[in-house]
Amino acid sequence: MYQAATVSLAHQRQLRLLNALRANKKPIMTFLGLPSFRTAQVVAQTGIDAIIIDCEHGYISDDSMHSSTAAIAALGVSPLVRLRMTHSDLIKRALDAGAHGIVIPQINTAEEAKAVVSHAKFPPHGTRGQGSAFPALTHGIDLPTYLKTANETLITCLQIETKAGVENIDAICAVPGVDMIFIGPNDLALSVLGYVPAKGDEPEFVQAIEKIVATARRHGKWIARLSNDGPSCKEHLEVFDTVAMSYDIRALQNWYMAELRVARS
């Protein structure tokens, strides 16, 4: 049994998100969906603590993921990568690019969670292969130190966003090596309610979120969710350890729409 990130004594200054979570400082993340390391740099200079490079829904190629990961880490912000599935090759590529953690969507069973952890950990705790010099750079350490500490310091975050995921949440959270549970409220609403967005007060939807949060807490996992804006972030951080505040694409759209309304009024 290895030490989970929540109890590890390893401390690396570059790991902004992990260090903030350990200190209960309520870090704030956001999503990056545009394939531009310049956009990554601009967002990383806003004061954000972590940026999730969205390879699931964003327009992000493998090249863009590599360059954005490096650009974000160079500015002292933690890059995470959201993958489109649990395949070992995708997990390897994200971690070899230097991601400080991975976010895996649509986790429905403990078996899926175990597979993700295995792909993300070096032996003897997993099956991840070694061969890239890049991840040590984004962690601000040398390669031997990275190889010794990666199993303890990389954040493995699983998204729960289906009825099946909610039903199996206890078994999922019991998997060693799962560090964080992320609630995808829109997909969760689609699965539980059959429509999106949720109004927010539907009993079945509220109960699902409460069950996820309570179970994650009981198993000592960090808990996160998507938040649409600053006021929502402030409200959600009363319950959650961290939130992802919207999306670079929505931020662009929202600013232009708001300013155009004023200009044309």
DSSP state of 4: P
Place of tokens 């804006």: 229
Six token digits for residue 166: 């909610």
Quick one: 11 exposed, middle or buried, by C-beta within 10 A (0-12, 13-18, 19+)?
Answer: exposed
How far, rounded to the nearest angstrom, does the alpha carbon of residue 180 sit from its chain's CA centroid? 8
Beta-carbon count within 10 A of 43 CB: 22
Beta-carbon count within 10 A of 212 CB: 24
Six token digits for residue 85: 């599935």
Whether the CB-CB separation of 244 and 227 falls below 8 Å is answered with yes
Rounded Cα distance between 4 and 113, Å, is: 15
Six token digits for residue 243: 């939130």
Find, among 35, 17, 33, 36, the residue nearest to 77 by Cα.
17
Find, among 223, 138, 134, the residue nearest to 172 by Cα.
223
Would you please indicate which residues are annotated as catalytic (active-site) residues?
A: 57
Sequence-distant (6+) residues with CB within 8 A of 175 are 110, 113, 114, 117
Rounded Cα distance between 121 and 124, Å, is: 8
